[in-house]
Amino acid sequence: MSKRPVALIILAAGQGTRMNSERPKVLHPLGGVAMIEHSLASGLALEPARIVVITGHGAEEVEAALVDHPVTCIRQEEQLGTGHAVAQARAALADFEGDVAVLFGDTPFLRAASIQKLLAARDAHDVVVLGFVAGTPARYGRLVTKGDQVLRIVEAKDANAEELAITLCNSGLMAADARVLFDLLAKVGNENAAGEYYLTDVPRLAHEAGLSAGYVTCDEAETLGINTRAELARAEAIFQTHRRAEMLELGVTMHAPETVYFAHDTYIGRDAVIEPYVVFGPNVTVESGAHIRAFSHVEGAHISQGAVVGPYARLRPGAEIDNDARIGNFVEVKAAQIHEGAKVNHLSYIGDATIGAGANIGAGTITCNYDGVFKHHTEVGAGAFIGSNTMLVAPVTIGADALTASGSVITENVPDGALAVARGRQENKAGLAKRLRARLLALKEQTKKG
C-alpha cells in the first residue's frame, strides 16, 4: 500500500426519511453506539491525517455526538446529492496533498481492510471505486467495466437490459487524489430528474479527462446501508451474530448465545461464563473466569477474575467488581468498587461507594447517596458486616470488621470493630393485636352491609 497521506470524508448529512424518526439516521444505535461510530472506527484504523464529516439534517446533534473525535464537521446546508456533499469538504482540505477516501456514516460493516484495499489500488488508478458482486443486484447501481477500468456507474432505474444483467455493483465508496477528486466534482452536473449532483458521475468524468478509473471488490455484507428500521434491525442481528461467534471462538462459554447481546466494545476473557439473557452495554470488561448469571444487565463496568454477578443484577457505569466478589439477585451497583471477596448478594443498591475486601452486605441494604443536589460517598471497611435492611446515609464510613444491626439507619461513622444500632426501641403491647384485628374485621363486615 502507498505511503501517501490519507484523508477521510464521511457523509452524514442525510435525513433518512424512511427511518420515520426525529433522530438523524447516523445516530441510530447499532451495537450500543451510533452507527456512524462504526464507520469512524474502520476509518481510524488507517490512521488518517484528516477526517471530515459532512453533516446536514440534525447537524447540531451529529456534531455534538462527534465532539470527542478528531474530526472536522462541515455542514451541507442544502442536500443536493452525494457529489455536492463531498464537494463541501474542498475548503477544509485545500492544503491537503494525498488521497481521499469517501465513506458513508450509514454503512457500518465496512472493514478497515477493504478501505486499505481501495487505497492500495490508487497505485494503479487515479480514481478507485469499491464494488461488490450482488446475489440479487436489482436496486443497486451497476459498474460498467472494461478490463480493470470502470467506464461508468449506471443506476438501476436508468439501466438497459444488458446493464441490468451486470452483477458487479456500486458500494458508493471511492478513493482518489484529493485535487483530482475535487476537480472532477467541479464538472459534475445536475441534469437529472432530482436536480442533484451525483458522486457516481466521477468515473465517467475521469475517463473523459484521460484518467484511469479502476475498482476493487469487497464482500456484499460489508456494504449494507441502513435506511429503514427493518434494515437497522437486520443490521443489529448481523452484528450480534458476528460478536457471539467471535466470543465463542475466543473461549467464552455461552449455553444460549442467541440470547446474549453485546456492545461494539465488549471485552470478555477466556473461560468466562455468560448465562442466557445477559445484555452488555458499552464499555464492559469481563476478565477470564468470571461468571455472569442469567438476566443481568451490565454497562460501563469492569468485572474481575472469579467474580460472580447475578442473576437479575444490574451493573451501571463505574461499577468495579474485584476478584471473587459476589453480586447477587436484584442488586444494583453504580460508581462503586466492590473489593476482593466482598458479597452483595440480595436486593440491595450500592452507589458511590467502596466496599472493603471480604465485607458482607445484607439483603435490602441501600447506600443513600443522593441528597437531591449532590452525590455522597459511602465507605465500608474490610470484613464489615452490614445487617439486612440497613440504610447507609452518605457521607458515612463503616470501619473494618464493624457490624450494623438489621433495620438500622446509619447517619454517623462507625469505628473499626464496633456494633452500630440505629433504630426505634421495640415495645410489645399485650393483647393489642388481637383487639385491633377484631375491630377491623367488624368494620369490614359493617361496610359490606352498608
Give the active site residues: 346
Task: Give dist(CA 52, CA 8) in Å, integer.
Answer: 6
Q: How many CA atoms lie within 13 A of 330 on its CB side?
A: 8
Report which residue type is found at 59: A
- Cβ–Cβ under 8 Å, residues 171 and 153: no
- Cβ–Cβ under 8 Å, residues 152 and 215: no
- Cβ–Cβ under 8 Å, residues 198 and 188: yes
* φ, ψ at 322 (rounded to 5°): -80, 180
Task: Give dist(CA 231, CA 23) in Å, integer.
Answer: 16
β-strand partners of 378: 353, 396
Task: Give dist(CA 233, CA 230) in Å, integer.
Answer: 5
Report which residue type is found at 208: E
Per-position DSSP letters for 410-446, written without gaps between them: E-S-B-TT-EE--SPPP---TTHHHHHHHHHHHHHHH
Q: Roughly how many angstroms between the first and final C-alpha of the chain, as a whole number? A: 92
Q: How many CB atoms lie within 10 A of CB 375?
A: 13
- Cβ–Cβ under 8 Å, residues 152 and 144: yes
The set of cell numbers assigned to 139 is 436496486
Give me the sign of the Cα torsion angle 134, 29, 260, 246: positive
Helix (H) or strand (E) holding 338: strand 332-338
Report which residue type is found at 297: H
Residue matched to cell numbers 484495499: 117
Q: Can the peptide bond before residue 311 be classed as cis, meaning omega within 30 degrees of 0?
A: yes
